[in-house]
Chain A
């Protein structure tokens, strides 16, 4: 059974803290994605990666960075968390050479920044 896991389901951090969100997939997928989901705004792409050490900015990269040192792991970093980064964060992966680019999602991390 294919699986995308995220390091935490719920996370509470203080303003100014450095926050790491980890995502691991076991499907040998090339593509990995980080989204944030907010009420009324749908899913917005923060960053994506199509290979180890490669990254591309999505629609809302400001305030975030990413790291992909291994194919199965994609980390999202909030360098200095702010209250407007309180959100649900979703990680996903997909194959690079495919007709569908169907994405597989992790369960999400609900981050609260106080």
Chain B
């Protein structure tokens, strides 16, 4: 079952530009997490935002959460070629399970 849906499915930008990815979900959440996956590799946890938070920063990452709209966005500022990857949002289901969206494929061109 898909909880998070990412938008856009693919995004191509130039190095130095900002990249924004959006995630919508269906049910109430405790927290929402963002993961990154380099091509052909496992996922790596980037950042978590709790349901009582509206914005969170980590380095060049900024995550916002709007629980009234059931949506979150991930902003990567001053993107680099090394940011090229797929990005997934995930929400917590029952029993400690995470429910992942289908991901946004980001391509940053040098």
Contact = CB atoms under 8 A, between A and B. Distances in A.
Contacts of B97: 33, 45, 48, 58, 101
A100 B31 contact: yes
A64 interface: no
A17 interface: no
B25 interface: no
Contacts of A45: 97
Contacts of A108: 40-42
Nearest to B48: A100
B33 interface: yes
Interface string B1-44: 11000000000000000000000000000110100000011111
Q: Please indicate which of the listed interface residues A43, A59, A94, A96 has the most CB atoms of chain B within 10 Å of its own CB.
A: A43
A101 B88 contact: no
A90 B42 contact: yes
Interface residues of A, number: 29
A50 B95 contact: yes
B96 A105 contact: no
B98 interface: yes
A107 interface: yes
Interface of B: 1-2, 30-31, 33, 40-45, 48, 50, 88, 90, 92, 95-98, 100-103
15 contacts: A4-B42, A42-B2, A48-B95, A56-B95, A58-B97, A88-B40, A90-B43, A96-B96, A101-B96, A101-B97, A102-B45, A102-B48, A104-B45, A107-B42, A108-B41
